[in-house]
Amino acid sequence: MSYLQLRAGPNSRLPLSTKAEDQSLYAHVHGRRLEAVGIGALDKVKDYTLVECFRERGGRRELLLGFKKRGLGVNKYNGFGGKFEVGETPAECALRETREECGLSPRRLEWKAQLLFTFRDSGTVMRVHVFEASDFDEAALVETDEMRPEWFDVDALPYDRMWHDDAFWMPLLLDGVAFEAWFDYAAGGEDVNTVAEYVLNRTPASPRHVVAARNAASPP
């Protein structure tokens, strides 16, 4: 696989990666960071999901983001998701977390990406499975004690109030590209909110990436 160079958004604070190593993303990450933080295998990572919900309104495409009211990412806008429960597939987790955080129950999920996160001042390694949803009953949308949902035009996303990594990979998602990415956060974590190093890698997309909500299949 070859690494994908992406134009930085207006709120990006780093130049883009121009790494030319012809190796898989995870091989690169394993060699560069996981061993450095004392983790020798990718099966040690903690799995999460992230669901990005879209709608068409007045000829414009809009993305639903939630303003985080408590916990990790407080006071930032983000998609909907969270940690796996025991025995859950990625799709099952995605559905449950979306329903819990904003009331929506997507009828169809499309797997789009895996994001791997490392943090320079901790041994935390997170793998996030990213899904896209556009088939749901919008009347079910509610504010919860964790998230306040809000629609944004895709050309006016509040990157300055989102996680730093969003400005790097969100344009790929908006263009319909399947991808994998690694983001290494600088010391200071959430308070500093700065990506120190990253890689973006285009991956093949196929109809197998589409899963019906009712069968909660895992992405390939």
What CATH number did the domain enclosing 102 receive? Answer: 3.90.79.10
145, amino acid identity: D
The closest alpha carbon to 91, from 145, 59, 47, 123, belongs to 47
Residue 215 lies in a domain: no
pLDDT at res. 220: 32
Q: What is the mean pLDDT of residues 19-24?
A: 38
Is residue 180 very low, low, confident or very high in pLDDT (cuts 50, 70, 90)?
confident
pLDDT mean over 35-48: 59
Residue 214 lies in a domain: no
Rounded-to-integer distance, Cα 123 and Cα 99, Å = 30
Residues 64-85: pLDDT tens digits? 999 999 988 899 999 999 999 9
pTM to 2 decimal places: 0.78
Dig out the tokens for 116 from the structure. Answer: 């791997």
pLDDT value at 1 more than 50: no
Residue 1 inside a domain? The answer is no
The total number of structural domains that make up the chain: 1
Q: Is the pLDDT of residue 177 over 70?
A: yes
Judged against a pLDDT cut of 60, whether residue 8 lies above it is answered with: no
11 located within any domain:
no
29-49 burial: b if 16+ Cβ within 10 Å, else e: bbebbbeebebeeeeebeebb
Phi-psi group of 209: left, alpha or beta (phi > 0 → left; psi -120 to 50 → alpha; rest → beta): alpha
Q: Does residue 213 sit within a domain?
A: no
Q: Residue 142 is part of which domain span?
A: 25-207
Q: Which residue has the tokens 């895992």?
A: 218
Q: Radius of gyration over alpha carbons of the chain, in Å?
A: 17
The answer to whether 141 and 59 have CB atoms below 8 angstroms apart is no
Amino acid (1-letter code) at residue 14: L
- Is 97 inside a domain boundary? yes
